[in-house]
């Protein structure tokens, strides 16, 4: 099996049942997830030898996070144990014109307070083929940024492909702080994933006329920005998912990619949403899977988009779709007929 590594934070997501608002909830569904952990699970689902690197407390809540990763086939041998807390976020699911809402309570988590010495990157990247990370980990703390840089550098030195999902989070840092850290990290990146907003806020590219609340996609703007990003940082691939938010219940979902030669725009899916958290992560993991499989740029893109369209129909952060299930959709069957 091909060894792949992701690193980041796995959080406890406390999700209100059904469409309950926070103030109505008498219980929370306990879901574990987080950008990179979601990628790790998807890659395990696709049959890769998927390792997730993080730090978690030794107590039972930390253990439960480890267990959820193991349950879905992720190798947890490189997870450091210690620190005080598992980062938490509360979520409620929107519907129609009522947006979903997230309340973060992630400060001082074990991974945010981890240090570079908690991890043996030489061992971690030994024989690995791919390393994926997001722009969240460098944002959670100063040491988070240091760990991210150390990991990317070690991966690069070990000859591992490196992908990043820019994932700008405005609750964690300002655009200025982000750009100072992120632009420096780009030297290690082979595959960069991020939408116009991320490109602007994390890397300082100026999007033209982007209005994320309009639900319209300016595809020419994307084309230009992806090319500029590629030129400035020398990425092998630069890609973006394209979400059209008609409402909290229905989205258009597609993606585009530029590989230095061609710009591809994928098929668009109209998705009825069960849970959109982790949609971007499932695109990243689908794309990585396609590229690791040696698919063409456009085929890898279509695999990533189909994977992530399907994710929107699954409760929780993780994308519980197998490789063959994704391929069936890529091959054109979106009829939803019962599989007996």
Nearer Cβ to a second copy (117/213): 213
Q: How far is the CB of 244 from a second copy (least distance, A)?
A: 9
* Pick from 268, 259, 269, 243: nearest CA to 295: 259
Q: How far is the CB of 259 from a second copy (least distance, A)?
A: 26
When asked if residue 20 is in the footprint of a second copy (CB under 8 A), the reply is yes
When asked if residue 208 is in the footprint of a second copy (CB under 8 A), the reply is no
Nearer Cβ to a second copy (294/336): 336
- Rounded (5°) CA angle 8-318-146: 5
CA 202 from centroid of its chain's CA atoms? 15
Q: Which stretch binds a second copy (CB under 8 A): 24-32, 117-125, 177-185, 284-292?
A: 24-32
Nearer Cβ to a second copy (256/310): 310
Identify residues 118-157 at the interface with a second copy (CB under 8 A): none
Identify residues 80-99 at the interface with a second copy (CB under 8 A): 84-86, 88, 90, 92, 94-99
Nearer Cβ to a second copy (112/186): 112
Q: Which stretch binds a second copy (CB under 8 A): 62-70, 202-210, 258-266, 296-304?
A: 62-70
Give 164's contacts (C-beta < 8 A, 6+ positions apart): 132, 133, 134, 135, 185, 186, 189, 191, 192, 193
Nearer Cβ to a second copy (33/259): 33
Give 3's contacts (C-beta < 8 A, 6+ positions apart): 48, 49, 51, 127, 128, 129
């Amino acid at each position: 099996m091909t060894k792949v590594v992701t690193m980041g934070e796995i959080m406890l997501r406390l999700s209100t049942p059904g469409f309950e608002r926070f103030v109505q909830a008498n219980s929370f569904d306990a879901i574990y997830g987080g950008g990179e952990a979601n990628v790790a699970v998807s890659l395990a689902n696709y049959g890769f030898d998927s390792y997730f690197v993080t730090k978690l407390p030794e107590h039972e809540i930390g253990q439960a996070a480890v267990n959820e990763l193991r349950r879905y086939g992720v190798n947890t041998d490189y997870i450091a144990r210690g620190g005080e807390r598992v980062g938490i976020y509360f979520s409620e699911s929107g519907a129609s014109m009522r947006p979903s809402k997230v309340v973060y309570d992630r400060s001082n988590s074990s991974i945010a307070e981890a240090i570079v010495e908690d991890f043996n990157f030489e061992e971690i990247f030994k024989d690995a083929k791919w390393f994926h990370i997001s722009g969240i980990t460098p944002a959670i703390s100063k040491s988070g940024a240091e760990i991210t840089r150390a990991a990317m550098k070690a991966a690069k030195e070990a000859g591992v492909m490196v992908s990043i999902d820019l994932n700008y989070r405005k609750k964690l840092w300002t655009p200025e702080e982000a750009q100072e850290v992120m632009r420096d990290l780009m030297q290690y990146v082979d595959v960069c994933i991020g939408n116009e907003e991320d490109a602007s806020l994390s890397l300082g590219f100026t999007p033209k006329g982007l209005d994320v609340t309009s639900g319209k996609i300016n595809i020419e703007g994307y084309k230009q920005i992806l090319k500029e990003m590629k030129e400035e940082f020398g990425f092998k691939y630069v890609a973006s998912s394209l979400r059209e938010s008609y409402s909290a219940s229905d989205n258009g979902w597609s993606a585009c990619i530029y590989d230095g030669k061609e710009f591809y725009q994928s098929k668009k899916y109209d998705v009825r949403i069960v849970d959109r958290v982790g949609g971007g992560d499932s695109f990243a993991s689908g794309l990585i899977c396609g590229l690791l499989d040696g698919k063409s740029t456009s085929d890898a893109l279509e695999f990533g988009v189909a994977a992530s369209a399907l994710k929107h129909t699954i409760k929780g952060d993780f994308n519980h779709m197998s490789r063959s299930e994704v391929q069936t959709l890529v091959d054109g069957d979106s009829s939803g007929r019962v599989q007996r």
